[in-house]
Amino acid sequence: MSRRAIIAGSGRLPAELATELAATQGEPAMICALEGVAPDGLAVDLAFRVERLMPFMRHLLDAGVTSVTFAGPVHRMALDPALFDRETASVIPRLLAAMQGGDDATLRAVMALFEEFGLQVEGLATLAPGLLAAEGVLAARAPDATESADAARGIEILHALSPVDVGQGCVVASRLCLGLEALYGTDAMLSQIAASRDMREPRKGGVFVKRAKAGQDLRVDLPAIGPATIEAARAARLTGICLQAGYVVVLERSETLARAEAAGIALWAVP
């Protein structure tokens, strides 16, 4: 019988995906993670290193794995040349060249290696669409006209930045861009905005817009929000969060929606 493996990064997403797959597929997935990466609430069946990538993929095949799914963020790690096996060492120049093109190029190169090895790469949109934001109002309050206009402006900004692989989120208030999500992620961006709100108008209000990058391979690195995102948005004095329908994961959905409603934050998804 064929098996599925989850290549788990940090955070809650790997555990939520594993639960969803166990419920819908009827068999638990094999959980794999890079050494040093500990997904929240999930035991790891097999840890591996990039320096031993080829033996790791061969191990998956020997275990009957036919498809893999990447879930959760993984930060770039330093490589130890002393640990490379000959076969993995032969593909490292290819990976290093891809890394020069940004995270998207790196992920595409990694997925290509898995597929060349005979392992199908499946994405969340196919396996667990219930984890993604559906179009429409998600929490109790719909956005008002000002929030909708700020969201539209944020979408314009992210669309313009997609070709240079900058990030998946921005914050707009009164059509002014307060922050862009870059290498350090959503939490860092929202924290910086929270610390800066009293510096100039507008001192409150605004919308956090979260979307996949144009042309992004949706099998990996889908943007996500969760309860901590709501708390960070509240601390930044935002009044709205606009997601891309079908492309953004909503982690701990019931808790996330409850916190948005309690904070009076409009939470909705658009195409």
Q: Which pLDDT belongs to residue 162? A: 87
Could you say which residues of the chain have pLDDT below 70?
1-2, 102-103
Q: Which pLDDT belongs to residue 237? A: 98
Q: Are 104 and 165 in contact (CB under 8 A)?
A: yes
Domain ranges, ordered by start, for the chain: 3-127, 132-270
Amino acid at residue number 48: F
Task: Return the SS3 of 17.
Answer: helix
The CATH number assigned to the domain with range 3-127 reads: 3.40.50.20
CA–CA distance, 247 with 245 (Å, rounded to integer): 6
Beta partners for 121? Answer: 68
Query: How far apart, in Å, are the Cα atoms of 208 and each of 105, 134, 180, 222?
Result: 26, 17, 10, 16
Q: Which pLDDT belongs to residue 108? A: 84
**What is the tens place of the pLDDT at every residue in 23-53?**
887 788 999 999 989 899 999 999 999 899 9
CA–CA distance, 239 with 253 (Å, rounded to integer): 19
Amino acid at residue number 139: A
DSSP string, 146-197: HHHHHHHHHHHHHHHHGGGT--SEEEEETTEEEEE--TTHHHHHHHHHHHHG
CA–CA distance, 254 with 107 (Å, rounded to integer): 30
Q: Which pLDDT belongs to residue 109? A: 87
Beta partners for 70? Answer: 7
Helix, strand counts (H, E) of the chain = 10, 13
Q: Which pLDDT belongs to residue 222? A: 86
Q: Which pLDDT belongs to residue 255? A: 97
CATH number for domain 132-270, candidates 3.40.50.300, 3.30.70.600, 3.40.718.10, 3.40.140.80:
3.40.140.80
Amino acid at residue number 70: F
In this prediction the pTM is 0.86
